[in-house]
Amino acid sequence: MIFNHDPPRCVDCLDCGGASHCGMECSALMAKNIGGYDVCTTIGKVTSTTTNIIDNQNPHKGVIVKMTSNGSEHNCSLSVSVICDSNRVLGPHSLEKLGTCDYATVLQHPSGCATINGHGKGWGWFGTLMIIVLCLFGGYLSAGAVYRHFFLGFHGLDMIPNLDFWTRLPHRTQSFFASLVRKFRGPTEGHRNSYSPVNF
């Protein structure tokens, strides 16, 4: 928690910058009113934060956010169980001390609800295959152009390997598809046979 104004005094938090820096430079766990004074408990400066699912079988249940602080005297941690509740925000109402300097608390919040991203938004096998084919084709053109330029002395468009094949490829492709269309449709009305009938 971060206190915007009037932060409570911090006890035993010298590594946070002093007693008046509760919730500003350290992770504050909870502020308690002890003897009429608000006292803040901290774990010190957080060195690492990990997030895990509470129940792997039911990821919608929530997550556990664990913050740890490796101090000179104590290694402290705070585990916050964020229970999924998409309609409201509740807690935390209590702080449980699990060890010497290990704390745990529970709250309900919409941010604990899992968002499962479906598969199938990637390239897929066909997209990957096309990328590989394009990379191989680009490598073939580059290597061929370098070879023809430096070893055979060609310049300009003549550096492209098998240039005649690539210039004829569009016409060959068009002829191939035209022959397929004629094969399945049959001859059109405008199509004339190249042979003329001969009368004997």
pTM here?
Answer: 0.45
Task: Name, in order, each residue with C-beta under 8 angstroms of 107's C-beta and a sequence gap of 6 or more.
Answer: 80, 81, 82, 83, 89, 90, 91, 92
Tell me the domain boundaries of the chain: 1-45, 46-114, 124-185
Expressed in percent and rounded to 5, the helix, strand and coil fractions of the chain are: 30, 25, 45
Q: What is the pLDDT of residues 86-140, one digit of tens each?
A: 888 887 777 788 888 888 888 888 888 877 665 556 678 888 899 999 999 999 9
Query: How far is Cα 105 from Cα 102, in angstroms, rounded to an integer?
Result: 11
- Of 43-52, 141-150, 181-190, least confident by mean pLDDT is 181-190
